[in-house]
Amino acid sequence: MKRNCSFTPRQVGYFYLSMLLFSSLIAAIFLVQGIWMILPFTLIELTALGIALLIYARHALDYESIAIDGSVVTVEKNIGGKLERHEFNSKWLQLKQEEHGKRLIRIEQSDKELPIGIFVPVDARPQFYQDLRQQIRFES
């Protein structure tokens, strides 16, 4: 499962470059005419846009992967470039679905608890929960 994003990080870079060139061109035209006050506003605009696009690009490749191999359930999460890998024994784990809020699914095993399904649409989470539960039982 992965985040649904319109742009890849490369496309975000190209978009920012095009905005940088376009805004700089407009600012240069005003600067040639003697209106220098447009330059600070252009810098503020490009800085704010750059920060927003950087945050977007950092999370564009986020994903969550669940692999079931015999009695081992492996959950791999990459959120904001931080990779986490968790392993659970399918015979000892419990799947729980929250009854309120975002209705995330939790995998629990002794003292370990991990929310999963953050990229699954809210209305599809009950079906995801049932499918995952069935698959874990089938593999055990």
Residue 140: predicted pLDDT: 54
pLDDT at 112 over 80: yes
Q: Is the pTM of this model over 0.75?
A: no
Residue 29's pLDDT band, with cuts at 50, 70 and 90, is very high
Rounded to whole angstroms, the Cα distance separating 112 from 67 reads 18
Tens digit of each residue's pLDDT (9 = 90 or more) over 57-101: 888 888 899 998 888 999 999 988 889 999 998 888 888 887 765
Q: What is the distance between the alpha carbons of residues 62 and 6, in angstroms, rounded to a whole number?
A: 13
pLDDT at 92: 87
Whether 105 contacts 96, CB under 8 Å: yes
The H or E element containing residue 18 is: helix 9-32
Token output for 25:
């061109």
Contact (CB, 8 A) for 58 and 81: yes
Neighbours of 105 (CB within 10 A): 20
The CA-based angle 56-59-62, given to 5 degrees, is 150
Q: What is the pLDDT of residue 102?
A: 62
Is pLDDT larger for residue 90 or for residue 50? 50
